[in-house]
Amino acid sequence: MKLPASIEQYLNDTDVRLAHHPKLQKLFRNCFPNTLETTTKLLDDGTTFVFTGDIPAMWLRDSVEQVIHYVPFAKEDKELQRIIGGLIARQMFYINIDPYTNAFNETANDKHYRATDHCDLSPWMWERKYELDSLCFPVKLAYSFWRATGLNSVFDEASYQALNRVLQVIKTEQRHMEQSPYFFVRQTIQETETLQNDGKGMPVNYTGMTWSGFRPSDDACLFGYNIPSNMFAVVILGYIREIALEVFKDERMAERAEKLRKEIDYGIRTYGIVDHPKFGKIYAYETDGFGNYCLMDDAGTPGLLSIPYIGYVSAEDPIYQNTRRFALSFDNPFYFEGKFAKGIGSPHTPGGYVWHMALSMQALTSTDDQEIKELIDTLIATDADTGYMHEGFHPDNPADFSREWFAWSNSLFASLIVKAMDKGIV
């Protein structure tokens, strides 16, 4: 699609600012507008469909991160308001269809990633993996758009219904084993693609936190309480409280959101912090509330590395700093090093792969300008001369990578370069 005027102007300005670095200039010129140019469809009903790239479906999570770097430009740009406002409307429409679905079709075309999944698939659903973060990201986008533009028109009756459904699912999943209707079984030999215990997941204890079947990487949770996703829930429940009070004038909705926010935050602080023999107090990646923990980090957002990015605590938080040192060490089973890169990967991609998104997130959450510079240099050097970011790549051979067209990764890299330019680092 044709780029909105504010985005075209910004690209022209950055061409000048990055003229001293031709490769970075080219990467930014490719990555910053990639979502608008290749994965955005304006639909006749006034909504916007943003697919993920090489897959024709729209992920609630990915679609937010694909456009979030455009939000600051929307205040004075009617075209961007149409695009982002239309996406928010589409996300609310999908949540009202089913709040347990992570990825949707453009139409009710009955296309699915795996049509044999046992999970109550409908024609709208590309895949029905329940991921707590998939409910959090649309709230983040709607809130950010409202605060950036002053426009509350996105909070219509459908949004009101969707936000109430978000609250209800989060509350239900606090007692997943007793109250949840959700299940998911995929006929596969890979444990990361299905839930154990006849699709209900392994048992969890009540903690105040809320359950998630799958991680932001679309892999199954080992233990049901994913800590970074619960942190994100704490943040967006605060957003819902503000929206309820200032827009909908609904004190009951605000009270529900605040009660959930406090309960989940208590659960994180009580059950989500462990004493590591090397790093001290760190945040676990997952727990079941019975004393079992998963100590790792994954390249997907939200992850432990991205805690300041999602707004739970600042980058200076001492437990976060301990957790960051853990995540960027070999004590994290998904931290890898090679000749050209070192960083966090995921069980979602082949063993040993580092993710571009993890490198971008490491830089976005760093307080060290030298670390940021070095990470940007690594990102520039590992695009395999494609001019774009990818999903995972082998740190000894960046030409060995997954997903040639992955808009979320391009957008996150673009966000990093915007921040670096603003700080005078590049």
pLDDT (0 to 100) of residue 188: 79
Cα dist from 310 to 29, 162, 230, 314, 336, whole Å:
26, 21, 11, 10, 24
Over 90: is that where the pLDDT of 232 sits?
yes
Task: Find how far residue 11's CA is from the centre of its chain.
Answer: 25
Measured between alpha carbons, how far is 199 from 396 in angstroms, rounded to an integer? Answer: 38
10 Å Cβ neighbour count for 168? 12
Max mean pLDDT among 192-196, 304-308, 344-348 falls in 304-308
Checking phi first, is residue 338 left (phi over 0); if not, alpha (psi -120 to 50) or beta?
A: beta
Measured between alpha carbons, how far is 395 from 83 in angstroms, rounded to an integer? Answer: 37
Q: CA 42, 43, 48, 51: dihedral to nearest 10 degrees?
A: -90
pLDDT (0 to 100) of residue 385: 96
**In the CATH scheme, what is the code of domain 5-423?**
1.50.10.10
Measured between alpha carbons, how far is 324 from 365 in angstroms, rounded to an integer? Answer: 10
Asked if 400 contacts 385 with a C-beta cutoff of 8 angstroms, the reply is no
pLDDT (0 to 100) of residue 350: 84
Measured between alpha carbons, how far is 98 from 82 in angstroms, rounded to an integer? Answer: 24
Over 90: is that where the pLDDT of 354 sits?
yes
Over 80: is that where the pLDDT of 43 sits?
yes
Q: Which amino acid is at 271?
A: Y
DSSP state of 221: P
Nearest alpha-carbon partner for 108 in 92, 99, 121: 121
Over 80: is that where the pLDDT of 114 sits?
yes
Q: How many degrees, rounded to 5, is the angle at CA 166 between CA 161 and CA 170?
A: 150
Percent of the chain surpassing pLDDT 70: 100
DSSP state of 115: T
Chain-wide mean pLDDT for the chain?
97
Coil, helix or strand at residue 126: strand
pLDDT in tens, 121-140: 999 999 999 999 999 999 99
Q: In this structure, what token pair is assigned to residue 371?
A: 């670390």
Over 80: is that where the pLDDT of 189 sits?
no
Measured between alpha carbons, how far is 313 from 290 in angstroms, rounded to an integer? Answer: 25
Span 215-237, mean pLDDT?
Answer: 97
| pLDDT tier at 1, thresholds 50, 70, 90 | confident
pLDDT in tens, 58-78: 999 999 999 999 999 999 999
Q: In this structure, what token pair is assigned to residue 59?
A: 């992920």
Measured between alpha carbons, how far is 253 from 245 in angstroms, rounded to an integer? Answer: 8
